[in-house]
Amino acid sequence: MDKLIIKGDGAISGTLKISGAKNSALPILAASLLADGPVHIGNLPHLNDITTMITLLRCMGVEITLNEKLSVEIDPRSVNELTAPYELVKTMRASILVLGPLLARHGVANVSFPGGCAIGSRPVDIHLKGLEAMGAKISIDGGFIRARCNGRLKGANITMEKVTVGATENLLMAAVLAKGTTVLHNAAREPEIVDLAEFLLAMGAQIEGIGTGTLRVHGVSRLNSCAFTVMPDRIETGTFLAAGAAARGKVRMTHTRADTLDAVLLKFEEAGAHISTGDSWIELDMKGNRPKAVSFRTAPYPAFPTDIQSQFMAMNAVAEGKATVVETIFENRLVQVHELNRMGANIVLEGNTAIVTGVESLKGAPVMASDLRASASLVIAGMVAKGTTIVDRIYHIDRGYECIEEKLQQLGANIRRVAG
Ligand code: EPZ
């Protein structure tokens, strides 16, 4: 397994181009199954998860042409296999997002039941309950979700018991081809869901309330070809801003959007960062000062995103003062604390709360990545630690960050990848 070797001795500054959003590209690729003709999707990030989703669509018989900049031409009319196999679903839980589109377009879907992962049990009960409310018959056998519906799904009035990104996306994709109107109450409002809805509108879907907690969908009989460009990745943006803040540097992110990160930018300002923004860039300048520790709690958008929690924790670990971090979305998403403490951090865990007392500096150590964003926090910690940090199991990182070492080298980080 590849490893990252990081020496925390570089001043961090510079400019980075942000890639397309993984968590927007994945549902949009799944939604291409709904179309009655070819769709063109641009600004896809070069990530293992994107490759996995493309592989999944191809194994269903979908014709996909990769263009030079990893934009893709997808023609879903050649679908001949309505199954998402275990081998692919076990590597990427987001495979569950083909369930709604397959049911809506073909009336049949067999998706391997996604297991939990390092951050939590990750149930899909709300996805399944919503599809049953729309007339799907669902059974679980042999580790597979087997879903059927006679004719078209029916519009329904659905209240999701939790705010869930994936269930909102699956039910939205199911509803656009259903017969009648579907109302999704307590819907998640993440920008990636707005991007998915815009893609569906581009194909001819009829959706009201985009960006709000209530989505009203008037089902149509078919969806057309379209061309669409995926939004920038706000989580990648927040990750590299956190690296700049932890390293007391000055960094600028281009090809990104400030309007999807309000809660995060406010917290960086509370930490003492000078933030400036334009219509497609964000600049963070610590003016060489040590960040101040900042308390926060994760919650659904527009609150502070769980996907930036561990990166901000790495900044808090070397900040001045004490802060509490509360993780309210996933039951096991504070695991990076143990590895940060092995690097000399002073973090005490109390249930879903971490009490962080900043230390002047961390010490490099061999550490192990456990999930995508926890891995990123270890890389940030390594960038500011004295000595050498070796981050193992970085396949987690490659799922969500495009060539992370090359991007961080552009900021002056002393980081290299070695084949394991
Ligand atoms: C999406 O996961 C993202 N993944 C996650 O990003 C992100 O952390 C998460 O949303 C929250 O923002 C993608 O978009 C591919 P949820 P998802 O359904 O959809 C519970 C990353 O690092 N729940 O919003 O799986 C669930 O247990 C990844 O890029 C149910 O109880 O998250 C959790 O506690 C990690 N029943 C809460 O809802 C259900 O049927 C939020 O989960 C579904 C979810």
| Mutate-to-test residue for ligand 1 from 122, 159, 370, highest number of ligand atoms within 8 A of CB | 122
Tokens standing for residue 244: 């700049």
Residue 115 reports pLDDT greater than 80: no
- How far is it, in rounded angstroms, from Cα 360 to Cα 59? 51
- DSSP state for residue 36 in the 8-state scheme: S
- How far is it, in rounded angstroms, from Cα 157 to Cα 306? 28
Residue 166 in contact with ligand 1 by CB distance below 6 A? yes
Tens-place pLDDT, residues 178-202: 999 999 999 999 999 999 999 999 9
The one-letter amino acid code at 104 reads A
**Distance, first Cα to last Cα, the chain:** 4
Tokens standing for residue 281: 């860039």
Ranges assigned E (strand) in 178-218: 181-185, 206-208, 214-218
Residue 123 in contact with ligand 1 by CB distance below 6 A? yes
Could you give the residue numbers annotated as active site?
117
Order of strands, edge to edge, in the sheet holding 281-285? 13-17, 250-254, 281-285, 274-277
CA of 164 to the centre of ligand 1 (A): 6
Phi first, then psi: what are they for 285, rounded to 5°? -130, 115
Residue 68 reports pLDDT greater than 70: yes
CA of 181 to the centre of ligand 1 (A): 26
pLDDT computed for residue 70 by the predictor: 67
CA-only gyration radius of the chain, Å: 21
Q: For ligand 1, what atom is nearest to the CA of residue 235?
A: 29
Query: What is the average per-residue pLDDT within 196-216?
Result: 98
Closest residue by CA, ligand 1 atom 6: 307
| Mutate-to-test residue for ligand 1 from 47, 164, 330, highest number of ligand atoms within 8 A of CB | 164
Look at 107-121, 152-166, 213-227, 396-410 and tell me which has the smallest mean pLDDT. 107-121
Paired sense of beta strands 414-418 and 388-392, if any: unpaired
Burial classification of residue 272, based on how many CB atoms lie within 10 Å of its CB (0-12 exposed, 13-18 middle, 19 or more buried): middle
Query: What is the average per-residue pLDDT within 122-138?
Result: 96
CA of 302 to the centre of ligand 1 (A): 15
Asked if residues 234 and 18 have their Cβ atoms less than 8 Å apart, the reply is no
Helix (H), strand (E) at residue 242: helix 234-246
* pTM greater than 0.95 (yes/no): yes
Tens-place pLDDT, residues 236-264: 999 999 999 999 999 999 999 999 999 99
- How far is it, in rounded angstroms, from Cα 28 to Cα 199? 7
Q: For ligand 1, what atom is nearest to the CA of residue 330?
A: 34
Residue owning tokens 């968590």? 23
CA of 163 to the centre of ligand 1 (A): 9
- How far is it, in rounded angstroms, from Cα 97 to Cα 52? 13
Phi first, then psi: what are they for 34, rounded to 5°? -80, -15
pLDDT computed for residue 258 by the predictor: 96
